[in-house]
Amino acid sequence: MDQTKMIEAFHQGSGTNMYMFFGAHFTNESGGGVRFTVYAPHARTVSVVGGFNNWDINAARMERTGFTGVWSVFVPGIREWESYKYYIEDRNGKPIYKADPYAFYSETRPETASKVYDIRQLKWSDGAWMKKRSKGFDSPISIYEVYAGGWKRQEKYPYTYGMLEAELIPYVKEHGYTHIELMPLNEYPFDGSWGYQASGYFSVTSRYGNPTEFASFVNACHKAGIGVIMDMVPVHFVKDDFGLRMFDGEPLYEYRKREDAESEWGTLNFDLWNEEVRSFLISAAEFWLDIYHIDGLRMDAVSNLIYWGGNRDRGTNDGSLYFIKRMNYYLSKDYPDVMLIAEDSSDFPKVTWSTLDGGLGFDYKWDLGWMNDTLRYFELDPVYRKYHHNKLTFSMAYFYSERFLLPFSHDENVHGKRTIVDRMWGTYEQKFAQARNLYAYMYAHPGKKLNFMGNEIATIREFDETKELDWFLLSYPIHSAFQRYITDLNKIYLNHPCLYKHDYTYDGFKWIDADDADRSVYSFYREDEKEYILCVLNMTPVSYEKFTVGVPQKGTWTEILNSEKDIYNGCNMCNFEPIKTHPAAEGAKFDHELDLRLAPFGAVWMRIAKRRSRKTEQ
């Protein structure tokens, strides 16, 4: 490692692996020990203190590396898991104790010291997965979003990484998901922030175990064919005194102006015009991909990166935009098979375009407009839905402008919004019927899928980080049937490429009737080179023994999904036998039509294999 070049890259904002230089690293110097390196340009003196030197501020004085603001010292004989902090005297001699910004591990809250950990010892056996993984544009992606401390618990304690490895991975596999998305697992002091108010950007949280155990979890996911996505927060950080705030007595990671530094969450915004901060955050992102083999990063609150304070009226934050483009450029260059996902509530253009084409460089963007429109529609009394018919058609008017991902995330299960099933209109049973309809719409709609844990068992209680999911609900047939329904949706989705192969081209989706507002029925089809899948959605409690719908191909169509099937606790008004087309009336949009049975609030998927053309047969 060339120290001079590392420091130069750090100061230029192009350092992508600063975790290999800063922090605490075991070395073979002088018979073995740990070299500590930290950036504190405004400090008068810096020392490393810990149990190994009885927290003596004079025992391990660090040396300044020229005029770079970098301090370093070698301490012999330190053992793994030792706790430490940096003792810093600011330019006025005021003493400060800080955790290591580049620490690989930390004490469990409420303690705040960093811990020495040898990151070189991690063992991997996921080579086959790593060779075949991709960004998944033409692959099925169904993400199970998880708060690690609240999926299951052992009495008052959350599951460990080992317990999640033993139980979460088989659960995800059994129910047909392709990826697990973990709410932030960087270290953080306040449980109620769910990890979104971070203190340790390179430190996997000690709440659930240690780095070795977390790496084992990721390795086991990969061996089971499950990808791992992790949330990251490049916008803001906690104000706690032991953290990044006023790190060496002056603003270093945050903006100097108070109005720019203060965030809406009671935290501090990163100064993304600062080159050293850029290197810090880019390195933090690459760290999880390099050291822990993470398959995707979902960046939180991207609108707050685009606009000052997330407020369009304050204008774009050009320094922050430059940082995003630089970060995504390096991430895509160094890890071309890793997914970069933006949680962005703005309509800023070209979020998922390449940085080389003037875009921000993300691979996917959460479609929060689709999510909001869809849930508002399903909350409506069916009597009024015909006046809001466009809420379910509007998404396809803009869908191909970005690569959108369809989320029903943790944000839709908290803060009084109510859970997904509880937001549906009607009686208890009608809520379930409409939730099944909702998910048939979601899985047939172009775009990758994301569901928060508990959505699949139709939880009624909102997410609470102190409690596990209400697994007892599965003892009630209506809930266990709903879980089976979501599992079947996932497995049908996985086995029919037309539902995902052409998500982001104009070739895979066509409306049959987007304008049947009076009956509040929607019909469209998905297609690839081998098959068509027809989707018909009835949004009212009216039933139809003979609902006529146009189809793109003559022949016999077979029902592959009906949301009202009895095994899903529905009314069992299904199309049990294959249905032959008949000629359409003159002037119809399609030459051929089907007559379907369509249940109240029913969703029907019909399938037919594509006929080969004579040219193909020849």
DSSP string for 20-46: GTSEEEEE-GGGSEEEEEEE-TT-SEE
**Environment class of 63 (CB within 10 Å of its CB; exposed 0-12, middle 13-18, buried 19+):** exposed
Instruction: Write out the two tokens for 229.
Output: 């996505």
**CB atoms < 10 A from the CB of 494, how many?**
16
Task: Judge residue 312's burial from the number of C-beta atoms within 10 Å of its C-beta, 0-12 exposed, 13-18 middle, 19 or more buried.
Answer: middle
Asked whether the bond before 110 is cis by omega within 30 degrees of 0, the reply is yes
Q: Work out the burial of residue 383: count CB atoms within 10 Å of its CB; fewer than 13 is exposed, 13-18 middle, 19 or more buried.
A: exposed
Q: Catalytic residue positions?
A: 300, 343
Rounded Cα distance between 63 and 133, Å, is 44
Sequence-separated (6 or more) residues with CB below 8 Å from residue 458: 419, 420, 421, 432, 435, 473, 478, 479, 482, 483
d(CA 43, CA 493): 57
Please state the three-class secondary structure of 204-258 as a single string: ECHHHCCHHHHHHHHHHHHHCCCEEEEEECCCEECCCCCCCCCCCCCCCCECCCH
Q: What is the DSSP letter of 178?
A: S
Which segments of 494-591 are extended strands (E)? 509-513, 521-527, 531-538, 544-551, 556-562, 579-580, 582-583
* Nearest-angstrom CA–CA distance, 462 and 417: 8
Which tokens belong to 19? 């975790």
Q: What tokens appear for 288 in the block?
A: 């999880």
> How many angstroms separate the CA atoms of 403 and 405, rounded?
7
What do you get for the CA distance between the two ends of the chain, in Å? 62
Backbone φ and ψ for 344, nearest 5 degrees, come out as: -130, 120
Helices 275-291 + 318-334 axis angle, to 10 = 30
State residue 259 phi and psi, 5-degree precision. Answer: -65, -25
Residue 333 vs residues 64, 353, 355: alpha-carbon distances, Å: 33, 15, 11
